[in-house]
Structure 1
């Protein structure tokens, strides 16, 4: 139990760090002229996003360790739908209200078709992608085996690549992040997290691979293998990140990073709307002033609104699930 608690602590810290980076650095750049861009930012961004995807796969697996029949598939789909889709739909409506998207785009995103046709608005592409991974999860877990998981993943990637190559459809990110999700499922099923918590040969090898492939990704951007390097460094970066987070989590204020992790989904969904409102209220030509305004006022506001919203939504969705189950 103690080891499991430590594992979750390290993942909560990674989720908290990822959402602070995405909301407070990466997307904040869009409102301050990109002054927070730094060397290697692409690698940091992809690592944090892949960690989000990995954690999704891992948590799904430890919370749904066995799916063996159609009734369990339906129960899983119902729980995930209540957890994810209404919040996503509400975010879409807010985006439309703020004129971030047209009615046509709203319908396309609501039907999750955007990730298939490769036409997504910023930010919410990630949620559409995760929804498709959730659809794949029961297929992997029914009659689970490691060999079968690799076979299903390989077939899915091959089919998506073929569609992208022949039709121009399919957002490549759906393919690129899929291995990170499957890695999370495998890690949850085979308890790899315990291996990642110690600096052993596996973690050292992964760290070395991360340095190699991230360097190739950065220094050869025009290479035909650019996307392949991206997949490899994202996968290789996850175990060292977990090892580092496991060490840091022991020395940081637990409630802070756990609350951030809890609010992270709503923070991701709603931060652009809150930034839009704040910049409509006040704007300055000074990048420094706008950074201070949005970071020190906007980020705490995004967290507070998201935490309260998530808390109340969880109460509501749990009551609905109990009534209908």
Structure 2
């Protein structure tokens, strides 16, 4: 979620996926939670769609990082610095706002601020995602070094990556089974990140073939059927790992094959740009609209949330992201030499 396509050549397929995913999370999954008269929207279908949506966010982050090249310690440091500058100050601001709004449980703030919340069974509401993705970022340079070493192998390039990807995912599942006291979503979504990063160069059109899409579609159907064997919450179960990998992979392949050169309307591009801030700050804004004078019936509640709160979230998030990016650029700009 925090990563963005390189500005010199904007991939509008990624913009479309990012905008669609954030609208699902903010404009449906969380929005309806603030309409007490509406119930039944969380069911077997929507839980699985949410797993795919969050998996796609993680997959896109891995894919964009997979474009990078890291060969020495200085590049590792630059990698960490860029990502922490991009995500940590806005995240800390959101965390403080969550605390002020009563959205954190006692004792959650410190662990969340230290980005260790994923190593507990009670990470903060919504912001658990940031603690999780930071763990993935910490591991990303090792994965990049591994991926770049594959080019020297005599094996076939794509087969190489598939074998490595399967091996890492298998190790992840084993650790998820053995380790207790850790947020299970850390193990649920890490395979999506690995798949996006390791397979990154082979997932861009024109390498995306109809055969690849057909095989991935069959795997997604099988993963969906497999997920129904688990009776508890599927969004926290390791049984959803195949769905969290193949669902995002299928979506990505389809969008890269047919949506890469779309001319998206400005609103979709704006939502894509604002997606990180939308994710961070939408709950306090929803609380602002529902704390006083909120209607008691379903129709008016939905109208307030969709027609008032959601546009404010988009506008405020886009503005906040633009202002933050401008501030970062000013701070990172080299000082002009005197005279």
1:213, distance to aligned residue in structure 2 (A): 1.8
- Aligned partner of 1:313 in structure 2 is 324
Aligned ranges for residues 164-183 of structure 1 at < 5 Å?
164=179, 168-183=180-195
Once residues 228 and 155 of structure 1 are traced to their aligned partners in structure 2, the CA distance between those partners, rounded to angstroms, is 13
What is the aligned partner in structure 1 of residue 80 from structure 2?
Answer: 77
Residue number in structure 1 paired with 2:198? 186
Q: What residue in structure 1 maps to residue 291 of structure 2?
A: 280
Contact 2:118 2:183 in 1 (8 A): yes
Decide whether the 8 Å contact of 2:58 with 2:192 is kept in 1: yes
TM-aligned CA deviation for residue 318 of structure 1: 2.2
CA separation in 2, counterparts of 1:12 and 1:55? Answer: 10
Where does residue 243 of structure 2 map in the other structure?
Answer: 233
Shift of 1:117: 1.3
Structure 2 residue runs of 5 or longer lacking an equivalent are 1-7, 151-159
Deviation string 1:19-55 (CA, Å, 9 cap, x unpaired) is: 0010000001211135344551011111110000000
Cα separation, 2, equivalents of 1:210 and 1:28: 28
The question of whether the paired residues in 1 share the 8 Å contact of 2:230 and 2:239 is answered with no
Is residue 2:304 matched to residue 1:293?
yes
> Which structure has the highest helix share of the two?
1
Residues 1:31 and 2:34 aligned together: yes
Does the aligned pair in 2 maintain the 1:12–1:257 contact within 8 Å?
yes
Structure 1 counterpart of 2:281: 270
* 1:68 aligned onto 2:79: no
**CA distance change for structure 1 residues 44 and 313 in 2, over 3 Å: closer, same or farther?**
same
TM-score, scaled relative to structure 1: 0.86
- Give the C-alpha shift of residue 157 in structure 1: 5.2
TM-aligned CA deviation for residue 296 of structure 1: 1.4
Bigger Cα displacement from structure 2, 245-254 vs 298-307: 245-254
Tell me, in whole angstroms, the C-alpha distance in 2 between the residues paired with 1:222 and 1:308.
40
2:311 and 2:216 mapped to 1: Cα distance?
35
Deviation at 1:194, TM superposition (A): 2.3
**Across the two proteins, how many residue pairs are aligned to each other?**
311
CA distance in 1, matches of 2:242, 2:206: 19
C-alpha distance in 1 between matches for 2:295 and 2:113: 35
Q: Distance in 2 between matches of 1:76 and 1:313?
A: 19
Shift of 1:229: 4.0
Q: Is the 8 A contact 2:63 2:197 kept in 1?
A: yes
Which residue does the alignment assign to 1:40? 45
SS in 1 for 2:231: coil
Q: CA offsets, 1:202-248, max 9 Å, x none?
A: 21111112122212313642699x94541112222223312443435
Report the TM-score, using the length of structure 2 for normalisation. 0.83
Partner of 2:215: 205
SS at match of 1:194: coil
Matched, 1:113 2:153: no
Asked whether the 8 Å contact 2:63–2:196 carries over to 1, the reply is yes
Cα distance change of structure 1 residues 272 and 196 upon mapping to structure 2, 3 Å threshold: farther
Residues 1:96 and 1:60: Cα distance change in structure 2 (over 3 Å): same
Matched residue SS, 2:124:
coil
Worse-matched range after superposition: 284-293 or 15-24: 284-293
SS of equivalent to 1:182: helix
